[in-house]
Every structure is written in C-alpha cells, then in structure tokens.
Amino acid sequence: WTDIYAIGACIYASMQGYPPNDAPQRLEKDRLSLALSRLRGVYSDNLIEVVEWCMSLDPLSRPQSVFALQKELNREVERSYTKLTVAEKMRLQFDNLVADKAKSGRKTGAGTRPR
C-alpha cells in the first residue's frame, strides 16, 4: 500500500511541481484536497480523483493492487484519447510511429554514420 501511496505522490509532484506533505504532516493538517482542487481545469477530475485515491490516509481506502490502479489510469488515457479531434489523433499516431522508428534505428545502429 505504501507503493500505491508513493505512486500517487509522484503523480501529485508531477502535477504541482513539488512533492506533497508526508503522511504524518497530513494527519495533523490535511491540505491535499485543497491543493488538488486548484488543479481542476488544468487536469481532468478523474486524474485528480485517482491521486486522492492513491494518497488516502487510510491504507484500506487506497487501490488494493497495482492492477486496480493501472485499470483506472488506462480509463483516464482512453477518456483523454476519445476527446481528441481526428487531426489530433492522427498527429499522435504519426508521432508514435516516428518515435518507434527512431527507437528501432538506435537498436540496430541504422542511420548512424561511420566516423
């Protein structure tokens, strides 16, 4: 469960630009919901709820497995993808193809010049 909390804390830090207060500090004065509420409109409500879920002070209220968390994060990706326009989806697919091609070129050494 501490791993799940840590994942939530990492996502929080990525969203805020700084890490959250540690759990003992939060037990005294929990400002997580307030801090995350300021991010509504910047990030999806679902992603914010996932972070709150992962960082619940009660370990039994957190996702009980990495699989459960992964499933919810995949839903978030699907929701975001379906909101894209056709042009944005095509651009994303193109960018992924280019990135995959670049990765495979680095693995085989293709595209490198002899010195």
The residue segments making up the domain with residue 26 are: 2-99
Residue 45 is predicted with a pLDDT of 87
Number of domains in the chain: 1
The answer to whether residue 108 is domain-embedded is no
The answer to whether residue 9 is domain-embedded is yes
Per-residue pLDDT of the chain (115 residues; tens, 9 = 90+): 589 999 999 999 999 999 998 888 898 889 999 999 999 888 888 889 999 999 999 999 999 999 999 998 888 777 666 666 777 667 777 777 888 888 777 655 555 555 5
Distance CA 80, CA 103 (A): 25
Distance CA 99, CA 10 (A): 25
The answer to whether residue 110 is domain-embedded is no
pTM: 0.65
Dihedral sign (CA 17, 18, 23, 26): negative
The answer to whether residue 77 is domain-embedded is yes
